[in-house]
Amino acid sequence: MMKAIKWILKGLLTLVVALGLLVASYVFWFSGSSHEARSNYESPQGNILVFGGTRATGLGIVRQLVAKGEDVTVAVRATSDTRELEALGVTTVVADALNAEEVRTAFQAGNFATVISTLGTTRGDQAKRPDYIGNRNVIDAAVEAGTQRFIFITVVGAGDSYDAAPLPARNFLREVITLKTQAEDHLRASGLDYTIIRPGGLTDRQASGTAVLAEDPQAFSYIARTDLANLAVEALGNPATIGKTYAAYDPSRRTMWGMYSD
């Protein structure tokens, strides 16, 4: 009887040890503790000019580029608040995107290898919105200056992603979607090495780290601006994204609830 009890106790101890090792392995391996985060980013090896880089997603992109040691210049309006850019040590050049001559002059401030544009607004009449006119001016000036790489942040709902945007968004952003579609088409026809990224609903909540670039035009999710900025910078540093149009998709924020939960 005692011998049987000893065997049972020994078996239970072995089981407990095995379970402990299993739990430790899970925490170490599957939580990512044993894995070093890797990036596909390759520096574009040239100066970068950013339009729309004074706030929101654009400013986030600038921060990440500076952290990677890139030489960044941001085109700003005369009335723009540039304090955060100054704190980052970023060079600025004054240019209103709606003024084609000022945009052309901005390109003369440096030998820019890459342009990034996050230009857009949901307010004002079409003639004062940069969604198409401003972006068209930037695209044309890039071609004229011999700049080859262009990263363009637009919106889910533009072009062949129209049905992916929720109905309320399609109604509220009807004019924006039309203008962004025109700008996308202009960029594709320009001959530039473009990458177009379409985010869905944007949130200022913390980054999830799970966002990806999806080639499915029907993909839609909400996404943190920090995650979107990271996707834009990674796309810049990945030549495989040239000529591609993506949805910025975060599987952890597929519903509106994801806008408010971390």
Strands of 91-146, DSSP E: 91-94, 112-117
The pair of structure tokens assigned to 200 is 């869905």
Q: What is the pLDDT of residue 59?
A: 97
Look at residue 203 and tell me whether its pLDDT is greater than 50.
yes
CA pair distance 73, 15, nearest whole angstrom: 61
Tens-digit pLDDT profile for residues 73-107 = 999 999 999 999 999 999 999 999 999 999 999 99
Say which residue, 20 or 253, is predicted with more confidence. 253
Q: What is the pLDDT of residue 204?
A: 87
Would you say 112 and 48 are in contact if contact means Cβ atoms under 8 Å apart? yes
Q: What is the pLDDT of residue 29?
A: 33
Q: What is the pLDDT of residue 15?
A: 62
Say which residue, 22 or 152, is predicted with more confidence. 152
Beta bridge partners of residue 249, listed in sequence order: 212
Percent of the chain at pLDDT exceeding 70: 80
Look at residue 9 and tell me whether its pLDDT is greater than 70.
no
Look at residue 236 and tell me whether its pLDDT is greater than 80.
yes
Say which residue, 106 or 259, is predicted with more confidence. 106
Which of 20-24, 88-92, 229-233 has the lowest average pLDDT?
A: 20-24
Q: Which residue type, as a one-letter code, is found at position 164?
A: A
CA pair distance 79, 19, nearest whole angstrom: 63
Q: What is the pLDDT of residue 42?
A: 76
DSSP 193-227: EEEEEEE-EEE-SPP-S--EEE--TT---EEEHHH
Q: What is the pLDDT of residue 1?
A: 55
- CATH fold of 47-259: Rossmann fold (3.40.50)
CA pair distance 52, 196, nearest whole angstrom: 15
* Residue boundaries of the structural domains of the chain: 47-259
Backbone region of residue 94 per phi and psi (left: phi > 0; alpha: psi in -120 to 50; beta: other values): beta
